[in-house]
Amino acid sequence: MKILGVTNNDQAGACIVANNSVLCTVSEERFTRIKDHKIWPEKSINYVLNELNITLPEIDYIAYG
């Protein structure tokens, strides 16, 4: 089971969790260069998916916090 975790509350970012392990995570501020950037983390989502060669249809759940 693959879970895409997304947040844009205190700090925007995304992660991929599978089999109770965090496989990849990144904060949006790494791309925008704005500390604690609170935007929709589109670049972070694309990064974690591309880093693991996963497409969105392969994601079982999306967790938004």
pLDDT of residue 35: 86
In the chain, % of residues over pLDDT 70? 100
Instruction: Work out the mean pLDDT of the chain and round it to a whole number.
Output: 93
Contact 37, 7 (CB under 8 A): no
pLDDT beyond 90 at 18: yes
Architecture of domain 2-64 in CATH?
A: 2-Layer Sandwich (3.30)
pLDDT beyond 90 at 57: yes
Contact 47, 32 (CB under 8 A): no
Q: In which band, very low, low, confident or very high, does the pLDDT at 9 lie, cut at 50, 70 and 90?
A: confident
Of 29, 21, 65, the C-alpha closest to 47 is 29
10 φ/ψ angles, rounded to the nearest 5 degrees:
-75, -35
Of 63, 5, 61, 8, the C-alpha closest to 38 is 8
Total-model pTM: 0.90
Q: In which band, very low, low, confident or very high, does the pLDDT at 10 lie, cut at 50, 70 and 90?
A: confident
